[in-house]
Chain A
Amino acid sequence: MSSLTNFFHALGQYDFLQSALITAIMVGIMSGLIGSFIILRGMSLMGDAISHAVLPGVAVAYMLGINVLLGASVFGILAAMLIGFVAAHSKIKTDTSIGVVFSAFYALGFILISMAESATNLHHILFGNILAVSDSDILTTAIVLALVVLFVVVFYKELLITSFDETFAKTYGLHTQLLHYALMLVLTLVTVSALQTVGIILVVAMLITPAATAFLWTDKLSHMLVMAASFGVIASMVGLYFSYTFNWASGPAIVIVAAAMFAISFLVSPKQGNLFKRK
């Protein structure tokens, strides 16, 4: 328990830790919200792909000295469109198209990052560097969080119906493709924010694991969103505590906590209930 007191003591003392905690909480919320739609649409692989495909955008942004969000968004959307294009204009299935496109983007990203090495640190991009969050990072993350919440609230019913029954949405005239790309754009923004806390490799875990955990507990989408965001926040906070206390890298610490929550839910949740099967 003394480590916990230490943590809170440090929290009061060090600005960098406060910044880290605030960022981690915001990232937990946004990735839980967007991740819920990603898993309900059966797009976990797509989420993984987009989160990796932003890497060249990050590199280019560093090189040109522009905002990382801008560079990442361009490449994220480009990847999403390319994946859609290849799948639509060949007999190749979408998951194969995803594999080809995202690995190519990721590879390009590595090469570009190594060229821009002086300005940044590959290790931090890959695994997150939450203890080096700047004030402007916090501001950008807050803006992204606001955008994500706005997007989900304003387009809640459109996101619901396209995730549940896309054909129906098309028959009443909804532009489902546009919504898909809007979601991909928001996903890239979330990815870039999550880069700071968990790094590019583990972004997908923040998207999917808290949302999957929430899915095990509820039959109502609105509840799932709130729970996924909450699980994301808990994982971020507890993970950060472990990271600080045991000197673990922040990304893996957060993701392990999220995975532990999933494992517990898998065993005891009412919907899954593998430990106490009702029948």
Chain B
Amino acid sequence: MLQLTNLTVAYDDTPVFTDAAVQFDAGKITGIIGPNGAGKSTLIKAMLGLITASAGTATFNGQPLSHMQKQIAYVEQRKDLDLTFPINVFDVVLTGTYGRLGLFKSPGKAEKAAAADALAQVSLSDFTQRQIGNLSGGQLQRVFVARAIVQDANLIILDEPFVGIDLQSETAIMAILRQWRDAGKTIIVVHHDLNKVSHYFDDLVVMNHGIIDYGPVAQVYTAANIEKAFSADLSAVLFEKEAAQ
């Protein structure tokens, strides 16, 4: 279980959110939804220590998150990646073993076998030698999910994993997320569009410059919460449609 207490982040003294308190349960896929600029990625980065929170704590099973870096796998948004970097699919996945190896140790047989196995799980075994610039968006996303598999973490955080990817990749990634869930891991997915929310997630966190609500999807994915986070119009369209189905 991941617990955030009173987390506050500000850019240049303008708070993105203050006193965010939320809980993510193990054995659940939790979605974080909210409009663009709601602070979803910021929340993730603050709890990972990638940006400094001005107040608050993040604990995982009672331990500060900053002490459990080897337990965390983070699949970042891919937009900032250097796709011309001289590295192939296999070697990217292999970097997932670096954290556990620590300094002065190189990946050996066991690590390479783990990377090959992870690539098989995301159906990319035929692409191991491919330079990463020569992949589709969906294939690239699967490469980074494979790296997360190799990390063998207990807390897995994915930022917008379904943006710009094909259906086959989406299905493959969802299958992995469900395997992780069934293994009792804590999975957090930042997600910006409201399609398939109830299909993807068990729990939901609704955000807009702060936590609006969180809990099981059935309780949280409501017209009232969507209206608060997004707009009354969107809420009306979405929930009218659902009522009609």
The chain A residues found within 8 Å of chain B, CB to CB, are: 40, 42, 154-158, 160-161, 163-165, 167-174, 215, 218-221, 223-224
Can you name 18 A-B residue pairings with CB atoms under 8 Å? A158-B103, A163-B85, A167-B74, A167-B76, A168-B76, A169-B98, A171-B74, A172-B69, A172-B99, A174-B99, A215-B86, A219-B86, A219-B87, A219-B88, A219-B131, A221-B87, A221-B91, A223-B86
B residues within 8 A CB of A157?
A: 95, 98, 101, 106-107
Contact B131 A165 (CB under 8 A): no
**Min CB distance, B129 to chain A, in Å?**
9
Contact A168 B95 (CB under 8 A): yes
**Min CB distance, B194 to chain A, in Å?**
27
Number of interface residues, chain B, beta carbon within 8 A: 26
B87 in complex: contacting residue of A158, A160, A169, A215, CB < 8 Å:
A160
Contact B98 A171 (CB under 8 A): no
Q: Which of B50, B99, B107 has the most CB of A within 10 A?
A: B99
Against A, the Cβ 8 Å flags (1 = close, 0 = not) of B83-118 are: 001111001100100110101101100000000000
B residues within 8 A CB of A42?
A: 82
Q: Which of A155, A164, A168, A223 has the most CB of B within 10 A?
A: A168
Contact B88 A171 (CB under 8 A): no
Distance, CA A220 to CA B86, complexed state (A): 5
Distance, CA A33 to CA B21, complexed state (A): 48
Contact B95 A164 (CB under 8 A): yes
Contact B95 A160 (CB under 8 A): yes
Distance, CA A42 to CA B81, complexed state (A): 12
B residues within 8 A CB of A224?
A: 86
A residues within 8 A CB of B95?
A: 157, 160-161, 164-165, 168
Contact A40 B103 (CB under 8 A): no
Contact A220 B70 (CB under 8 A): no
Residue B48 is within 8 A (CB to CB) of chain A in the complex: yes
Contact A173 B70 (CB under 8 A): yes
Contact A161 B98 (CB under 8 A): yes
Query: Smallest CB-CB separation from B75: which chain A residue?
Result: A168
Known A164-B95, A168-B95, A172-B69; contact A221-B86, beta-carbon cutoff 8 A = yes
Contact A154 B104 (CB under 8 A): yes
Contact A173 B87 (CB under 8 A): no
